[in-house]
Amino acid sequence: MDHPAAHIDTAATAALREERVDWRHKAIPPAFWGRTVADVLAEAPRLSQLPTPVLSLSRVAMTHNRDVLAAWCAERGMALAPHGKTTMAPQLWAEQIDAGAWAITVANLAQLAVARAFGVSRVIVANAVVSPLALRWISDQLTEDPGLEVLVWADSARTVSLMHEALAAHSADVGPRRPIGVLVERGGANGRTGARDEDTAVAVAEAIAASPHLELAGVTGYEGALAHTPDEAALAVVHTYVDSLVSLHRRIDGLMPAGRVPVVSAGGSAYFEQVADALSPLVAGEEARVVLRSGAYLTHDDGFYRGISPLGASPRTSGPGLRSALHGWVRVSSQPEPGLALFDAGKRDLPFDEGLPEAQLLRARETGAPATPLSGVAVTALNDQHGFLRWDPAGEAPVVIGDELRLGLSHPCTAFDKWGLIPVLDDADAADPVVVDLVRTWF
């Protein structure tokens, strides 16, 4: 089945290079304030010219990850709708779309507005939308742009009723509008949202099909809320859940509007091999457009996803492994007692909800010398603006005040939101990496 890629306004993303950087961008040193992004990049600054703390992305690792998952999905006949909430960076969305992404996924109206500001032509809103204000705006967007497709979710008849009432009133006020596409969300026990049984989900589909202001578009769900480990029991739970999406699709397929290719979509960067396996009968029979909504794969990480991804440290599927493209760079600012150093980054700078950072490298103390691996140390806590690095107090201190360290990070979804402008390095393993891009985020 053909999966035509979405479109994005490349002129709008290119225009980001004309933005001026200043004190609002904590990754940028005063020496560059007042210059455009293009001017800064033209000087090819080095990592050593940036202040600490700083979050960085690796160009070589992101390019690798982008191409690996695009090829992995294509080999299995699946479409990819990367979850844009991970990065909220239209520059990176553009790369994913250029690599064939069928859509960009977002989680709410504010994120959808960013996607629309950059001309993304097909967006999945992975949530129920019940606000009349939001529904009216989406309805207007669809009517003003015939090439736009927006799919939202519903998991109850009441949700559908509220959507119908809001859109009916809006249509009465301003005239006929294009219907909004809706995916029926199937949930699982102890999961997040989603109809907990198939009969309820079928009733939701029937309610959508009965509304002239809505259009049944298919089935969706999120398996990541049902398991958090890669053991066999967790994988079985995920596979059984994704099987339920197939069953629901087959029960409601007769309600689909003529000419619409049904979508069956599951999410996640943790269990996408289970998704592909369970949904493979739909691909083989061309019964539906199977859409994967992974988001964290683009940067991967050195924590949660390294441990649980099917292409992580313990692979569960074929294909090249993903690489961490996400790092923190910090400076030791205090050594108040044996076995303890404090560095200049904390919860406001680095993710901590899915595991603390790990100390990886000591930046060279001499210009041109390679970085050296750090061992026998651990980041044990983060305060708002400080990090705690500990080692055996009876041993020799591995760091001194002023040393710069590279940290591996866990959970990209809570890393990007702390930085409005993120330097992209040519290669985070280089002695003094070159800044090759600056990525703008909207949170």
Tell me how far apart the alpha carbons of residues 101 and 3 are, in angstroms, rounded to a whole number: 8
Q: Look-up: residue for tokens 């996924």?
A: 105
DSSP character at residue 370: P
Query: Do residues 79 and 102 touch, judged by C-beta distance below 8 A?
Result: yes
Q: 443, 420, 438: which is closest to 91 by C-alpha?
A: 438
Please check the confidence at residue 301 and state whether its pLDDT lies above 80: yes
| DSSP 8-state assignment for residue 231 | S
- Residues 306, 323: Cα–Cα separation, whole Å: 8
384-411 core/surface letters (b: 16 or more CB in 10 A; e: else): eebbbbebeeeeebbbeeebbbbbbbbb
- Of 91, 89, 82, 84, residue with least CA distance to 13: 91
In which band, very low, low, confident or very high, does the pLDDT at 364 lie, cut at 50, 70 and 90? confident
CA atoms within 13 A on the CB side of 109: 13
Please write the tens of the pLDDT for every residue from 379-428: 999 999 999 999 999 999 999 999 999 999 999 999 999 999 999 999 99
CB hemisphere CA count around 142 (13 angstroms):
23
Task: Output the pTM of the full model.
Answer: 0.97
What is the 3 state secondary structure string of 150-200? EEEEECCHHHHHHHHHHHHHHHHHHCCCCCEEEEEEECCCCCCCCECCHHH
Q: Are 150 and 215 in contact (CB under 8 A)?
A: no
Nearest to 435 by CA among 91, 84, 38, 68: 38
Cα–Cα distance for residue pair 273/360, rounded to 1 Å: 29
By C-alpha distance, which of 82, 93, 126 is closest to 297? Answer: 82
Six token digits for residue 404: 């710069």
Q: Inform me whether the pLDDT recorded for 215 exceeds 80.
A: yes
C-alpha to C-alpha distance for 305 and 212, rounded to whole angstroms? 42
CA distance 409 to 406: 10
Confidence of residue 370 (pLDDT cuts 50, 70, 90): confident
All structural domains of the chain, each given as residue ranges with its CATH number in brackets, are: 10-57+322-440 (2.40.37.20), 121-294 (3.20.20.10)
At 376 the pLDDT is 96
- pLDDT beyond 90 at 368: no
Res 369 pLDDT > 90: no
Instruction: With beta carbons less than 8 A apart as the criterion, state whether 219 and 261 touch.
Output: no
So what's the pLDDT on residue 41?
98
Please provide residue 429's backbone torsions phi and psi, each rounded to the nearest 5 degrees.
-90, -5
State the CB neighbour count (10 A cutoff) for residue 17. 17
What is the share, in percent, of the chain residues with pLDDT greater than 90? 97
Predicted pLDDT at 140: 98
Could you tell me the two tokens for 258?
Answer: 């003529």
Helix %, strand %, coil % of the chain (to 5): 35, 25, 40
- DSSP symbol at 125: E
Task: Tokens for 405, please give them.
Answer: 């360290």
Apex 374 CA angle, 372 and 378, nearest 5: 160
Asked if residue 85 has pLDDT above 80, the reply is yes
pLDDT digits 0-9 by tens, 110-130: 999 999 999 999 999 999 999
